[in-house]
Amino acid sequence: MIVTDNKPKKEVLEAMQDYHKIFIIGCGSCAAASRTGGEDECRIWVDDLKKNGKEAAGYFIPEETCHVFLLKSMLRQSGAAASSDALLVLACGAGVQAVSAATDKPVVAGLNSMFLGTTYRAGEFLKYCSLCGSCVLSSTAGICPVTRCPKGLLNGPCGGMVNGMCEVDASMKCVWVEIYERLKSRNKQKILATINKPKSFGNVRHQKVEPKKLSKEGR
């Protein structure tokens, strides 16, 4: 899930200073789990808008705010959204851009996108993935060095590792030591003899995935 955090209210209010009637769009998925874009957060913004001399036109919370066609349908059916001056979006950057693609109205982002999080427990998330587009997890025992190594090393450990601890953060065990130990416990440490090639972080603007037909065995 995409972990988000609230932007400073002053920053958000400044971004909507030219608009009076504001409609709020939350997110029933990631932002709701992050407690930044669910029912409670939308209601808080309704009150805050009123306190700052603006009119809250209402709100809705799509199941997934990053779904453009879902948003288009919901916006067509919402008279309150249609009559608003601008839309305040409590979702990640993908959600904000999806709303922007679904409407001609000005869009204001209420949240900052922090990272792709692994849920440890409710309300607690671990930064385990950077969406780099070329996953090496099969050869690193399911531990991502791109994200979890402060240097993002694809081949490690670095020369600064001391007694198994990270050079950048001495309180943290070196991720490459963790990878080695896990592979060794499975008698798979030979995998590390293969050098990982540098990544190419291509800028993929648009990607369409065609649905695949499953065979009877794959259903």
Q: Where in the chain is the domain with CATH 3.40.50.11860?
A: 2-114
Which residues partner with 60 through β-bridges?
25
Which of 150, 107, 145, 119 shows the shortest CA–CA distance to 12? 107
Q: What's at 39, amino acid-wise? A: E
Amino acid letter at 29?
Answer: S
Question: pTM of the entire structure?
Answer: 0.80
CATH superfamily, region 2-114:
Diphthamide synthesis DPH1/DPH2 domain 3 (3.40.50.11860)
Phi and psi torsions of 9, nearest 5°: -60, -35
Tell me the per-residue pLDDT of 45-85, one tens digit each, with 9 for 90 and over.
999 999 999 999 999 999 999 999 999 999 999 999 999 99
Task: Report the sign of the C-alpha dihedral through residues 108, 110, 144, 154, in that order.
Answer: positive
> Model confidence over 154-176: pLDDT tens digits?
999 999 999 999 999 999 999 99
